[in-house]
Copies of this chain bind each other. A is one copy, B any other.
Amino acid sequence: MSATRYTYLGPEGTFTEAALRSLPEAATRELVPMVSVPAVLDAVRRGEAAGALVAIENSVEGGVTATLDELATGSPLMIYREVLLPIAFALLVRPGTQLADVKTVTGHPVAQPQVRKWLEAHLPDAQWESAASNADGARQVQEGRFDGAFAGEFAARLYGLEPLVTDIHGGRSATTRFVLVGRPGRTSSPTGADKTSAVVWLGDDHPGALLELLQEFAARGVNLMRIESRPTGQGLGNYCFSIDCEGHIADRRVGEALMGLKRFCPKVRFLGSYPRADEVRPQLRPGTSDEDFTSAADWLSRCMDGRGEL
């Protein structure tokens, strides 16, 4: 039954599965791997799954464009949770393989820049070929098509491989951020340490529009945490912006900034407000708390009655 099913980008043994299993409720769900980010999300759109976990950003590789683009277009979805997973690769080989035997390696294209430095240092002559996923690379090693696959250490057992080298990463603090996505619904209550995501389309004819977008947030003391331009498909030079900001849509400063965007931008898609995985509470600029907004609204009402200074 769909209410108990979560989809994720498979096959089994990917980092995404590991991230999904870190959610407490995953224990009581059926976890279904699928072949592509669109497939994962379409299952949710069609009601065949209650949720889907997809990578959205990596600290080395940047935004996961398939996810960003799927969330920006098509039938709307919303983000309800985020998961941060430190990423380290293992070089998985068939049992008995020595490092000197490794002539060909594979992995997801996103893994390539993260293992490149290691490859240059330790296997400068190895040929890289991309696989559909890290786990799919492991499967292809199992099948003998490649000598080694970069994947999570947890994938070794699943494919009868051995981790020859572990803890390979592309820089300090390599982390992937995943989001749990569902069909649009009521946002969860603010926790005080929240994040809000949206996609914003700017009018084409207005060069200063990105500056105005940032000012809507800055004017209310709301920090942007991520901004990513994505093509709209309308030709080079046409972008929409995928953004995350501190705070919850129910926070007055965030709500007012979003309404500001809604008023001057051709299109804004709200992607959700949800607890920050790092549980960091924002430092509020003076004058931007809910109490400040409420007391300013009270003052405005009193002003209209001539009691602004009472």
Contact = CB atoms under 8 A, between A and B. Distances in A.
A171 B57 contact: no
A304 interface: yes
Q: How many copies does the complex hold?
A: 4
A131 B130 contact: yes
Q: Specify the main secondary structure of chain A where it touches its partner.
A: mixed
Nearest to A267: B309
Contact of A224 (B59, B129, B210, B250): B210
Contacts of A288: 263
Interface in A167-197: 170-175, 177, 183-187
A84 to B, nearest CB: 7
Contacts of A65: 61-62, 113
Contacts of A29: none
Interface in A185-235: 185-187, 207-208, 210-211, 214-216, 218-219, 223-231, 233-235
A128 interface: yes
A235 B304 contact: no
A304 B250 contact: yes
Interface in A123-152: 127-132
Interface in A239-279: 239, 249-250, 255-256, 258-260, 262-264, 269-270
A58 B231 contact: yes
Nearest to A65: B62
A132 B146 CA distance: 14
Contact of A210 (B214, B239, B255): B214
Interface stretch (A11-19, A92-100, A291-299): A291-299
Contact of A305 (B36, B128, B186, B239): B186
Contacts of A59: 231, 233-236, 238
14 contacts: A57-B236, A59-B234, A84-B236, A170-B233, A184-B306, A187-B306, A207-B223, A210-B224, A216-B219, A227-B229, A249-B300, A259-B297, A262-B295, A264-B286
Interface of A: 35-36, 38, 57-63, 65-66, 69, 76, 78, 84, 109, 113, 116, 127-132, 170-175, 177, 183-187, 207-208, 210-211, 214-216, 218-219, 223-231, 233-239, 249-250, 255-256, 258-260, 262-264, 269-270, 286-288, 292-293, 295-297, 299-300, 303-309
